[in-house]
Amino acid sequence: MKIVAICGAGIGSSGILKVNAERVLKRLGIDADVTAADIGSVAAAAADAQVILTSSEFVDAIGQTYADVIVVDNYFDTDELSRKLKRALG
């Protein structure tokens, strides 16, 4: 499974989201490849992704995708991330 964390530059916020998603997935016992990317490369980075993690400000820029787009309100809240990932992957 491939999960892509998206932010504006592909470094800060998406890096935090990537690390926290990996922690949550490990706790849930789900094996996935989590990568961080910038919004400009979302089409290539998420072409084969099952899930895209991002903030509400980037949802429209993602465009058409077959991936489940999960809007994360607080990148540091692993409980929120856990709930949303369980719902999407459930």
Q: Which domains does the chain possess?
A: 2-79 (3.40.50.2300)
pLDDT in tens, 15-60: 889 999 999 999 999 999 999 988 888 888 888 899 999 999 888 8
Q: How far is CA 74 from CA 12, 14, 47, 58, 77, in A?
A: 14, 12, 25, 14, 5
Q: How does residue 11 score in pLDDT terms, banded at 50, 70 and 90?
A: low
How confident is the model over 3-17, as a mean pLDDT? Answer: 82
Enter the pTM of the model.
0.89
